[in-house]
A and B are shown apart, each in its own frame.
Chain A
Amino acid sequence: MTIDVPDAITGNAKRYADALRDAREGVAHALDDLVAEFSPMLWRVARRQGLDRVEAEDVVQSTWLALLRSVESLTTPAALPGWLVTTAKREAWRIRAKVRRETPADREWDELADGETGIDFDVVERLGMAPRYASLWRAVRQLSDRCRDLVAVVATVERPDYNEVARALGMPRGSIGPSRGRCLNQLRELLQADPDWNG
């Protein structure tokens, strides 16, 4: 079974268009739903750019404020997720260039990410994760940086938004929707090959 991806005009793009038009007209709370929907994605973009948690919060907030200020010029609603990702990345670079940190952004995530540390039993237990998440983490760590960025960010959005977000992130588009692409295919194969994941 494949994921049903709504047509660009009638699906998510319509929702984005309505929200952006309301925001242009000054309707209060016009962007509230989009904020709930896409903030986790922006958070992940900022964190994957190596910002700490406080900086990442700033990036999420300033990205939305930038959208409100650019709402007149954003004429292609379907491009909204891509616009958000690009703007958040730019904001993150700006902050990173300004602040030269000596300590890593998030020790837990970063030390794990460096590959020195695996997800051990302590982490699994403390965070209340199922033991098979250690396999998932092993698989994610084997992906290239680019693939990890993509998987980390795409994973934050609800299914119906894969289409736009995947495109914004450079995932190839197939005839009926986004293709799995190299990165997701790799993740899938790594997991399939892991007896702990399937067991």
Chain B
Amino acid sequence: METAGRNVAGADAPLDEVDAANLAAVRRLQDALDPMPEDLVAGVRFALSLEQLDAEVASLVEQSKVDARAGVDTAEQARTIIFESSTVTVMVTVALLDDDRIRVDGWLSPEGEYRVELRTPSDQFRTESDVMGRFVIESAPRGIFRLVIRPPRGRHGNPPVVITPSVVID
């Protein structure tokens, strides 16, 4: 048994069950005092999956918030947001369906049949726009989402995938 901090044999000994138990205790202590945020792992995975797309990030052009369907039991808000990239402009209107769900209506320009994905840290919802560039995601969880937009194949090869910044509906 080691008795002094300078004990070289103790420091040179391999890690054993006592060390493992001590480290596990330190881990529990740290987790109690300063826990890593619960959603950090999901957030990182989300960011990685989007980074892998190698997409152009559209920039936010305009954002407005309007009361919609006021007069019902709960006044609900719809929010209209416009994003722009070098190749495409997308306007989305987000409406609250209830406390947990949203509906997203979108319009893409130039018009055409795009593949559209709404991604949240836990889910993804796919749809396609019609020839006029309109699309709808009927129901998605409230919270954070990003749109991934894949344009139709062009005459000069594939136009870049476009991704919007995060939209937070709180």
Residues of A that sit less than 8 Å from B by CB? 1-3, 23, 26, 28-29, 31-32, 35-36, 39-40, 43-44, 47, 53, 57, 60-61, 64-65, 68-69, 106, 108-109, 112, 127-129, 133, 136-137, 140, 151-152, 154-156, 159, 162, 166, 172, 174, 176-182, 184-189, 191-192
Nearest CB of A to B148, in Å: 12
Contact B26–A64 (Cβ < 8 Å): no
Chain B residues with CB under 8 Å of A136's CB are: 22, 25-26, 29
Residues of chain A within 8 A of B49, CB atoms compared: 28-29
New A-B contacts (15) at CB < 8 Å, excluding given A177-B15, A178-B15? A3-B15, A3-B20, A23-B52, A39-B41, A57-B37, A61-B44, A64-B44, A65-B51, A109-B33, A136-B25, A152-B26, A162-B15, A179-B13, A185-B13, A188-B2
Q: A182 to B25, alpha carbons, bound, how many Å?
A: 18
Q: Kindly state the separation between the CA atoms of A176 and B15 in the bound complex, as whole angstroms.
A: 10
Cα(A106)–Cα(B14), bound, Å = 34
Q: Is the CB of B48 within 8 A of A182?
A: no
B14, A43: Cβ atoms closer than 8 Å: no
| CB of B43 closer than 8 Å to a CB of A | yes
B16 located at the interface, meaning its Cβ lies under 8 Å from any Cβ of chain A in the complex: yes
Are the C-beta atoms of B47 and A64 separated by less than 8 Å? yes
Q: A36 CA to B48 CA in the complex, in Å?
A: 13
- Chain B interface size range: 35 or more
Q: Would you call B48 and A3 a contact (CB within 8 A)? A: no
Complex Cα–Cα for A49 and B17 (A) = 29
**Cα distance, A181 to B73, chains bound together (Å):** 66
Residues of B within 8 A of A176 (CB): 14
B29 close to A137 (CB less than 8 A): yes
Q: What residue of chain B has the Cβ atom nearest to residue A63's Cβ?
A: B44
Question: Can you list 21 A-B pairs, Cβ within 8 angstroms, ordered by A?
Answer: A3-B19, A44-B30, A57-B40, A64-B48, A65-B47, A68-B48, A68-B51, A69-B51, A108-B34, A136-B25, A151-B23, A154-B23, A155-B26, A177-B14, A179-B12, A179-B14, A180-B13, A185-B10, A187-B26, A189-B5, A192-B1
Assess A188 versus B25: contact at CB under 8 Å? Given A3-B14, A29-B49, A39-B41: no
Interface residue B131 (Cβ < 8 Å from any Cβ of A): no
B161 to chain A, nearest CB (A): 13
Interface residues of B (CB under 8 A from A): 1-5, 7, 10-20, 22-30, 32-34, 36-37, 40-41, 43-45, 47-49, 51-52
Question: Which residues of the other chain, A, contact B33 by a CB distance below 8 angstroms?
Answer: 108-109, 112, 127
- Smallest CB separation, A111 vs chain B (Å): 11
* B26 CB contact (under 8 Å) in A31, A109, A151: A151
Q: How far is the CA of A26 from the CA of B24 in the complex (A)?
A: 35
Is there contact, CB below 8 Å, between A174 and B12? Answer: yes
Cα separation A61 to B51 with both chains bound (whole Å): 11
Return A197 CB to nearest CB of chain B, in Å.
9
A residues in contact with B1, CB < 8 Å: 192
Task: For the complex formed, measure the closest distance between the CB of B117 and the CB atoms of chain A, giving whole angstroms.
Answer: 12
A76 to B40, CA, bound (A): 27
Say which residue of B5, B10, B17, B27 sits within 8 Å of A1 (CB atoms).
B17
Q: Which chain A residues border B16 with CB–CB below 8 Å?
A: 1-3, 180
Q: Name the residue of chain B whose CB is nearest to the CB of A156.
A: B27
Residues of A within 8 A of B20 (CB): 3, 159
A12–B96 alpha-carbon span in the complex (Å): 46
